[in-house]
Amino acid sequence: MRSTFLFILLIFISGNLLAQNQKEFNTIHDEIRSEVKEKDLNYVLKRIDSLYEISKTVADTTSMFKAIRLKGFAYEQNGDYTSAIHVYKMESKKIMPYSQSYLKDSLSMITFYSIGKLSRDKGDFVEASKYYVKSLELAQKHNDTLYLYGNYNGFSRVFILQKDFKQGKEYLHKALQYTTSDKGKYRVYNNLSNISFYQKEYEEAKEFLIKAQQLLKEDDYPELLNNYNNLSAINHNLGDHQKGLDYIIKSYELAVKTNANAKNLARALLNISTSYTELKDFKKSELYMTKCDSMMKSVQSIDLKREMYKSFRDNYKDIGNYKKALQYSTLFMNYKDSILNEQNLKTIQDLKLKYETDIKDKELINQAKLLSSRKRQSNYLWVGLLSVIILLGISTYLYRQKLKTQKLLLTNKEALNEEQIAKLLEEQKLETIKAQLNGQNKERERISKDLHDSVSGDLAAIKLQLSQVAGQANEIQILANRLDQVYHEVRAISHDLLPKEINVNTFTDLIHQLISFKTTESTKIHTEFFPENNLNTLSERYQVEIYRIFQELLTNINKHANAKEVFINIIHHEEYINIMMEDNGQGYDTTNANNKGIGLRNIKSRLKELHGQLEITSSPGQGTIVNINIPVIT
C-alpha cells in the first residue's frame, strides 16, 4: 500500500514539473521571437540553443520542433536564407522517424513550405518547386486549406518570376479558391497585379493594386510596404516620376518605422535612387545607391541583386560615371538569363505533373517506430558501454576524415599542377600565333609599300617617257595604254593588301555602318557598345576578325531569321570581349545538321584563331541568341 502511494506521488510530482517546464518554454519562446528584429543575431541564436535544451524536458513533444523553427525564423529575418534553409532541412530529418502520422505530416508540410518559399526568394526555382510539391501533397491529403492556399500562391510566384504568366495565373486562381481571409485575397490580387505589370498592362496592374489595398488595415505594415513599392513602379512606367518618388519615400519611411528587414529596406533605397535618376537629380541618386549597396551585403535575394545591378548600371550611365557603370554591367551580366534554362523549366513541369497525377496514389514513407523504454538492470553499465561505443565511433570517424582530407589534398595538388601546365602551354601557343600574325602584317605592309613606291613609280616613269616621244607608231601608243592599265592594277593591289575599312573609320562606326547596310527598315535594331573607347583601340587583328564575324551573323539574320527586332551588345571586359546578338525571329533546330552552313563554319574558323567560344541557343519559333566570348591578349 505504501509503495503504491509513493508511485502515485512520484507521477504527480513529475507531471507538475513537466507542466512548469512547458510554461517556462512558451514564455521564453515568445520573448525570443519578439527580439529577433531588435537584438544581435548571435545573441538571439544563443538564447534559442538554450531554449532547445529546455524543449527536451517539457511535456509537449512538438516543443523541440518549435525551437528549431524559431532558429530558422531568426536567420530568415536577418536575410540569411542559406542558413535558414539548412535549419529547416535539419528539422525535416528530425521529423521523419516521428510515430504519429498526422502530426508528422503537419510538421513536414509546414517545413517543406518554408524551404520552398526561401528557395524561391534565392532564385533556386527547381528546389522551390520540389518542396512546394511535397507540401502540396500533404496539404491535399489532409485537406488543409491554409497550406493549399499558401503553396498555390507561392508556386505561382515561381512561374511569374520565370515569365510563365499563364501558369502563374492558373495557380493564383486555385489559391483564391482556398482562402476566405482578407490577407489571403490581398496576396492573390497583388500577384495578379505583378503579372499585369510584367506584361506592361500598367492600368490593369493599378486596378488590381487598388482592389488589394481595400483589403488592408492600417497596421498591415508589410503589405502596405509592398503596395507603396508597386504603386511607385507603376507610376514611373506611366510617366509620373514625381508621384512614383512620393510613394517609394512613403515605403522607406514605413520600413524604418516598423524596423523592417534588410531586404525591404534595400528595395526601398534602390527605388528611391532610380526615382531621383528619372528626375535628373543625380547627386541624390548616387547617395541612395551607396546606401542600397551597403544594405544589400546582408541580403541573399538573387532576384533583388539582379534588379539592383541593372538599375545601378543604368543610373551610373546616366550620371556619366562610366567606370561604375561598367562594374555593375559586368555584375548584372553574371545574373542575367536571356532565355530560360530548358532543363530548369523541364524539371519544374515534371514536378507539377507528378503532383497533379500521382498525389492520391503516392505511398507514404515507411514510418520508423520508436522503441519502448525498458528497465535497466545497471545504469552505470549501460552508460559505460555507451561511452566506449561513442569513443570508438569518434575515433573511427576522425581517422576516416583524416584519410579523406589527405586524399583530397593530393587530388587538388595534382589538378593544380595539371592546370598550371595547361595554362603555360596555352600562353606559349598564343604568343606563337601573335608573333606569326605580326610577321604576316609586316610582310603585307612591306609588299604594299614596294608595289606602291617602286613598281608603280617605275611604270609611271616609263609611261611618261613613251608619251613624250612624238610621231611614234600606233604600237608605241598601244604599249603606253597597256602600261597605264598595269599601273592602275598595281596601285589597286597595293591598297587592297591592307583592310581599307579599318584604317578609315573607327571600329564602332564601321559596325554601325555594317548594321545599316545589312538590315532592312522593317527590322528594329538595338545596340549597346561599351565602352566605345576600349573597343576602338583594339588591335587591327581583333577589329578585322570581329567585323567579318558580324558580316556573317547579320547575313544569317537577313536571309533566314525573318526577325522584327534584334538586340546587339559588344562589351569589352578586362580579360575578354563579349558579343551577344539576340533576335525574335523564327529560330531553328540547332541539332539539325542541315542548319550548319558555310557562314557558321566561317565564324567558328575565325573564333578558333582567336581562341574564342561560341554558344547558340535557339529552337523553332523562339528566336535565336548567339553568345561569343573572345579572350583579349595584351
pLDDT per position as a tens digit, 449-491: 556 544 655 565 566 566 656 556 666 776 666 676 666 666 5
pLDDT category of residue 9 using cuts at 50, 70 and 90: very low
What's the rounded Cα separation, in Å, for the pair 562 and 583?
9
Kindly tell me if the per-residue pLDDT of 4 is higher than 80: no
Contact 63, 22 (CB under 8 A): yes
**Which amino acid type is present at position 137?**
E
Count H helices, E strands: the chain? Answer: 25, 5
Mean pLDDT of 221-241: 87
Q: Is the peptide bond before 531 cis (omega within 30 degrees of 0)?
A: yes
What's the rounded Cα separation, in Å, for the pair 180 and 145?
10
Contact 530, 326 (CB under 8 A): yes
pLDDT category of residue 246 using cuts at 50, 70 and 90: very high
CATH of domain 502-631: 3.30.565.10
User: Rounded mean pLDDT of the chain?
Assistant: 78
What's the rounded Cα separation, in Å, for the pair 568 and 579?
8
Nearest to 91 by CA among 116, 57, 62, 117: 62
- Could you tell me if residue 474 is left (phi over 0), alpha (psi between -120 and 50 degrees) or otherwise beta? alpha
- What is the Cα Rg of the chain in Å? 35
What's the rounded Cα separation, in Å, for the pair 189 and 506?
53
Contact 182, 215 (CB under 8 A): yes
Q: Which residue has the cell 561513442?
A: 390
What's the rounded Cα separation, in Å, for the pair 352 and 558?
40
Helix axes 101-122, 125-141, angle to 10 degrees: 150
Contact 291, 297 (CB under 8 A): no
Looking at 302-378, list the stretches that DSSP marks H as alpha helix, in order from N- to C-terminal side: 302-319, 322-335, 342-358
What is the widest separation between alpha-carbon atoms in the chain?
157
Please name the CATH architecture into which domain 218-339 falls. Alpha Horseshoe (1.25)
Kindly tell me if the per-residue pLDDT of 338 is higher than 60: no
Q: Quick check: pTM over 0.75?
A: no
pLDDT category of residue 626 using cuts at 50, 70 and 90: very high
pLDDT for residue 376: 58
Kindly tell me if the per-residue pLDDT of 346 is higher than 60: no
pLDDT for residue 352: 57
Q: Which residue has the cell 512614383?
A: 244
Q: Which residue has the cell 545607391?
A: 289
Range(s) of the chain covered by CATH 3.30.565.10: 502-631
What's the rounded Cα separation, in Å, for the pair 371 and 369?
6
Contact 89, 96 (CB under 8 A): no
- DSSP for 73-88 reads HHHHHTT-HHHHHHHH
Nearest to 186 by CA among 229, 135, 220: 220
Contact 241, 278 (CB under 8 A): yes
What are the grid coordinates assigned to 19, written together?
507542466
pLDDT for residue 588: 86
Q: Is 129 helix (H, G, I), strand (E, B) or coil?
A: helix
Contact 200, 238 (CB under 8 A): no
